[in-house]
Amino acid sequence: MKVYIFLSRINLIQNHIVIVERYSKNPILTPDKNHAWEAEAVFNGCPIEKDNKIFLLYRAVSLPHYHTLAQTKLMVSDIGIAESKDGINFFNRRRFIIPEHEWERFGCEDPRVTKLNNKYYIFYTALSEYPFRAEGIKVGLAISKDLEHIQEKHLITPFNAKAMALFPERIGGKIWAILTVHTDKPPAKICLASFDKEEDLWQEVNWQKWYQNFEKYSLPLQRQPQDHLEVGPPPIKTKYGWLILYSYIKNYFSSNRIFGIEAVLLDLKNPMKIIARTDYPILTPDEYYERIGLAPNIVFPSGALMRKNCLYLYYSAADTTCSLAFIDVIGLIDKMLKKETELIKFTRAKENPIISPIKDHPWEAKATFNPAAIYLENKVHILYRAMSEDNTSTIGYAQSKDGIHIDYRSPNPIYTPREPFEQKLIPGGNSGTEDPRLTQIGDKIYMLYTAFDGKNPPRVALTWIKVKDFLAQKWNWSKATTVSPHDFDDKDSALFPEKFKGKYLIIHRIGDDVDLAFVSDLELKTEKELEEYRWLPTRKGMWDSKKVGVAAPPIKTQEGWLVLYHGVSEDNVYRLGAVLCDIKDPTKITARTDEPIFEPETTYEKKGEAPNVVFPCGAVLIGNKIFIYYGGADKVVGVATAPLATLLRTLKLYRY
């Protein structure tokens, strides 16, 4: 049998972690127009091994046809079966489970098969009513001894449920099952049930008793009330615990639903005990075959096979086809147990916040936040956004010898709104010069910042000052110009400190992604405006799913360009991540952290003008430490440090 395995664990740790990798020739099973019963869709496949072959049971959706019981045209689901020698290429497709009884007369869907006691237990969704409603959607069971014939069928649940599967062995002498209760009248719950003998599986009286307290047997996996979840493949035994893959759907009741695949690890002896779980999805709909189909933008886990440390994950793509992904199980479990993701830990200064508003200074009485930083002549120079009570932003200045304690702070702003594009047009509204970022090139320090008049879209502005004037605190800034396109919201801009092939490279953000723009000169005499080369995207279902933006200007390291960025989740929490870029061609991202490396934890980061925000605009290297300077909750300035080597080592684990 041909087996696709990952690198050894030693290589994974030394080089990088690839938790999930899609099969390059997906989808592996598509509708067959020559078979009316499976001509519309084939998906939610679940594999099982028998006689050195892999059999895939899958949901097959027919062409629309007149249904006498429904008295209308319907697409009806049967359960098909196919054979394979390698788990990838399937042949001999045929109908296997079809509607026969009243409790399944409108369709048999979504099989999950487990071998136990030399029998194949195939649980599926049985539809008994049309129009479809929760009370007519229940779990059915077909039992086969040979995967050629069905010996018996049973209705299992007397209540609304789906996605049931058996554990592949007895636990504590009992048969255990996992299922999803109330899939069609949320909130759904992933639950466990145990049985003394096979016949108990379909005893209604036992289920009625269990159902009275079903929440007692549920796993606490739902994070938010608006989310939905459903069991994926049958449980997979590992030496660390029972691995359960499941569908987690964020914002299920909205038009912005995000389907993801997550995992939870259960205790081997007591499956009710959760050992660990993923914090974010390991797979979301990104490929064309996952985004286009009968139900767009869906990935749904339905089956799995273990091959050494590689798990073959079979999943539905857009409820139309069967697709395959390979999972490094040890890498996934290590990630869940946080054996490696804790390598990087920024330490907050105990003196935080190091800069706070001063009520006696009207220009910075309301907030001081989002600081730029640059290290010159053994001092950290901090330029921070200061906000007055009428919401006008200017830029203040402070300096520190050790990077933490403030030795000097200017009593006046060192940069104020001067140009028409940053003058307040709406009394009391936000306006001014916001969120500066500093880069030294030659004898000049360039400052990119957000210019906003309170009415028109915010834009990226650029100015510069001679290094000698900056150090002397002679604030002779050049005339500022806007460099971003008109009528586009453009923010979060920073400049690489080197040229690439004779051109400057500017990071900025139009929309929700991080963009790049090459320019011939920093007055933009040639290009006039920044182009939008979409560079760093958001990631569905992750901590950076809503929008991303550059944090501090890039830092050159021996491993490549280090770029810190902020990511915003769907619940509007701002966190920090990092990417590495190729040293010669920064358009090539070589690594990106999966987990946030810094997030709101303290009161001054959780409560302020904007809650749950850490927003760095500056980072400097002092010795072997990286110092990040950040806004806390749009109110104060904090600083945190971490060894650069540790951050780079963490990034190495997530190389592309």
Claim to verify: residue 13 and residue 112 sit in the same structural domain:
yes
The pair of structure tokens assigned to 72 is: 């209308």
Claim to verify: residue 60 and residue 180 sit in the same structural domain:
yes
Contact status, residue 327 vs residue 313, Cβ threshold 8 Å: yes
Beta strands 392-400 and 431-441, pairing class? parallel
Over 80: is that where the pLDDT of 656 sits? no
Please compute the mean of the pLDDT values over residues 328-355 and round it to a whole number. 85
CA 256 to the chain's CA centroid: 14
Residue 423 lies in a domain: yes
Claim to verify: residue 227 and residue 264 sit in the same structural domain:
yes
Looking at every residue in the chain, the average pLDDT score rounds to 94
The pair of structure tokens assigned to 407 is: 């030795």
Residue 519 lies in a domain: yes
Residue 383 lies in a domain: yes
Claim to verify: residue 98 and residue 246 sit in the same structural domain:
yes
The pair of structure tokens assigned to 375 is: 């290290």
Over 70: is that where the pLDDT of 17 sits? no
Claim to verify: residue 299 and residue 156 sit in the same structural domain:
yes
Q: Is the peptide bond before 353 cis (omega within 30 degrees of 0)?
A: yes
Q: What does the alpha-carbon distance between residue 13 and residue 17 come to, in Å, rounded to a whole number?
A: 7
Claim to verify: residue 302 and residue 399 sit in the same structural domain:
no
Over 70: is that where the pLDDT of 343 sits? no
If one compares 19 and 438, the residue with the highest pLDDT of the two is: 438
| Position 308 confidence tier, pLDDT thresholds 50, 70, 90 | confident
Please compute the mean of the pLDDT values over residues 548-556 and round it to a whole number. 98
Q: How much of the chain, in percent, has pLDDT values that exceed 90? A: 89
pLDDT of residue 1: 31
Q: Strands, DSSP E only, in 587-652?
A: 589-592, 614-622, 625-632, 636-643
| Stretch among 11-25, 58-72, 130-144, 220-234 having the lowest mean pLDDT | 11-25
β-partners of residue 78 are 60
Please compute the mean of the pLDDT values over residues 364-379 and round it to a whole number. 98
Please compute the mean of the pLDDT values over residues 382-400 and round it to a whole number. 98
337, 358, 378 — which closes off a domain? 337
Claim to verify: residue 84 and residue 186 sit in the same structural domain:
yes
What is the domain count for the chain? 2
Q: How close are the terminal C-alpha atoms of the chain, in Å?
A: 29
| Best CA proximity match to 601, nearest among 563, 636, 570, 573 | 573
Q: Read off the pLDDT of residues 612-642 as tens digits, 9 standing for 90 and up.
A: 999 999 999 999 999 999 999 999 999 999 9
Q: Which 3-state string (H, E, C) describes 331-355? A: HHHHHHHCCCCCCCCCEECCCCCCE
| Position 652 confidence tier, pLDDT thresholds 50, 70, 90 | confident
Over 60: is that where the pLDDT of 7 sits? no
Domain that holds residue 468: 347-652
Residue 4 lies in a domain: no
Residue 2 lies in a domain: no
Contact status, residue 345 vs residue 127, Cβ threshold 8 Å: no
Contact status, residue 31 vs residue 317, Cβ threshold 8 Å: no
Q: 12 by DSSP, 3-state: which? A: helix
Claim to verify: residue 109 and residue 153 sit in the same structural domain:
yes
Claim to verify: residue 319 and residue 351 sit in the same structural domain:
no
| Cβ burial, residue 350 (10 Å; 0-12/13-18/19+) | exposed
Which one-letter DSSP state was computed for residue 479? P
Over 50: is that where the pLDDT of 318 sits? yes
Over 80: is that where the pLDDT of 15 sits? no
CA 188 to the chain's CA centroid: 22
337, 355, 384 — which closes off a domain? 337
Q: Strands, DSSP E only, in 131-185?
A: 137-144, 152-155, 161-166, 175-181
Over 90: is that where the pLDDT of 174 sits? yes
Distances (CA, A) of 322 to 26, 50, 79, 228, 476: 8, 20, 13, 22, 64
Contact status, residue 505 vs residue 496, Cβ threshold 8 Å: yes
251: region left, alpha or beta (phi > 0 left; psi from -120 to 50 alpha): left
Please compute the mean of the pLDDT values over residues 519-538 and round it to a whole number. 89
Query: Hey, CA dihedral for 99, 101, 107, 109, is it positive or negative?
Result: negative
Query: Hey, CA dihedral for 416, 421, 425, 430, is it positive or negative?
Result: negative
Q: Which residues contact 546 (CB under 8 A, 6 or more apart)?
A: 512, 538, 567, 568, 569, 570, 572
- CATH number at 387 reads 2.115.10.20
CA 380 to the chain's CA centroid: 35
Claim to verify: residue 484 and residue 567 sit in the same structural domain:
yes
The pair of structure tokens assigned to 231 is: 């069991």
The pair of structure tokens assigned to 43 is: 């998906």
Contact status, residue 144 vs residue 156, Cβ threshold 8 Å: no
Distances (CA, A) of 391 to 409, 433, 448: 21, 11, 20
| Position 18 confidence tier, pLDDT thresholds 50, 70, 90 | low
pLDDT of residue 344: 80
Distances (CA, A) of 37 to 17, 43, 77, 381: 41, 13, 8, 70
Please compute the mean of the pLDDT values over residues 44-63 and round it to a whole number. 97
Claim to verify: residue 115 and residue 229 sit in the same structural domain:
yes
Q: What does the alpha-carbon distance between residue 596 and residue 644 come to, in Å, rounded to a whole number?
A: 16
pLDDT of residue 11: 32
Q: What does the alpha-carbon distance between residue 391 and residue 363 come to, in Å, rounded to a whole number?
A: 9
| Best CA proximity match to 320, nearest among 591, 41, 560 | 41
Taking the CB of residue 308, how many other CB atoms lie within 10 A of it? 10
Q: What are phi and psi of 215, to 5 degrees?
A: -65, -25
pLDDT of residue 596: 94
| Position 339 confidence tier, pLDDT thresholds 50, 70, 90 | low
Q: What are phi and psi of 405, to 5 degrees?
A: -80, 130
pLDDT of residue 335: 84
pLDDT of residue 12: 33
What is the DSSP track for 180-232? Answer: EE-TTSSSPEEEEEEESSGGGGG-HHHHHHHHHTGGGGB-----STT-EEEE-
Please compute the mean of the pLDDT values over residues 314-318 and round it to a whole number. 98
Residue type, 72: T
Distances (CA, A) of 233 to 263, 557, 574: 11, 43, 34
Q: How much of the chain, in percent, has pLDDT values that exceed 70? A: 96
If one compares 286 and 2, the residue with the highest pLDDT of the two is: 286
| Position 4 confidence tier, pLDDT thresholds 50, 70, 90 | very low
316, 337, 358 — which closes off a domain? 337
Claim to verify: residue 313 and residue 400 sit in the same structural domain:
no
Residue 8: HSE in the Cβ half-sphere, 13 Å Cα cutoff = 3
Residue type, 630: Y
Over 60: is that where the pLDDT of 578 sits? yes
Residue 518 lies in a domain: yes
Residue 3 lies in a domain: no
Over 50: is that where the pLDDT of 34 sits? yes
CA 70 to the chain's CA centroid: 41
Q: Read off the pLDDT of residues 66-115 as tens digits, 9 standing for 90 and up.
A: 999 988 999 999 999 999 999 999 999 999 999 999 999 999 999 999 99
Which one-letter DSSP state was computed for residue 308? T
CA 413 to the chain's CA centroid: 40
Residue 342 lies in a domain: no
Q: Which residues contact 623 (CB under 8 A, 6 or more apart)?
A: none
Q: Which 3-state string (H, E, C) describes 112-140? A: EEEEECCEEEEEEEEECCCCCCHHHEEEE
